Amino acid sequence: MHKIIKIILIVLSVVGTVLWVQLPSGDAPVGEAVESGSMNFMFIITFVLLAIAVAATVIFGLKNVFSTPGGLKKILIGVGGLAVVAILSYVFASGTDIDIPAMEAKTGILTDESTVKTIGTFLNMFFILTIIAVGAMVLPGVKRMFNK
């Protein structure tokens, strides 16, 4: 199986190199570049590889979850933690912290308070998850530094 994957990757690399050479030059009109067959085929290859990567990740991840004794419990704890972060993020998002008519006038995009609250929720989730990730990387190093 390993040799087959290597052969497939070599073939895709050669095809990608040939397509890259056939791309339109930088001074070509945008319409011509967009309708280039080699560019379209490169996108198709990208989407196929992405689909294969996602499928492999899901399949091997699920296999690992169900074959490990505590795997399902860890997944449920992780999903529960993410749900707690999502709920806290929603609670802390106000939706009234900007002037909505001024934003609509500036951007030209119609919006309402719930849209602003949703954006605030996702920003809060991003910040909380970033703090958790940085803490997960820094705390073990600090702990080892003080234990020695």
Q: Is the pTM of this model over 0.85?
A: no
Instruction: Write the CA distances from 148 to 2, 138, 142, 145, integer angstroms.
Output: 43, 16, 10, 6
The residues spanned by each domain of the chain are 1-67, 70-148
Q: Residue 99 and residue 104: Cα distance in Å, rounded?
A: 9
pLDDT given at position 81: 95
Q: Per residue of the chain (148 residues), what is the pLDDT tens digit? A: 678 878 888 888 888 888 877 777 777 676 776 677 777 888 888 888 889 889 989 998 888 888 888 888 888 999 999 999 999 999 998 877 777 788 788 887 777 888 888 889 999 999 999 999 999 999 998 888 888 6
Residue among 48, 45, 52, 47 at smallest CA distance from 20 = 45
Q: Which region holds residue 37: left if phi is over 0, alpha if psi is between -120 and 50, else beta?
A: alpha
pLDDT given at position 10: 87
pLDDT given at position 27: 72
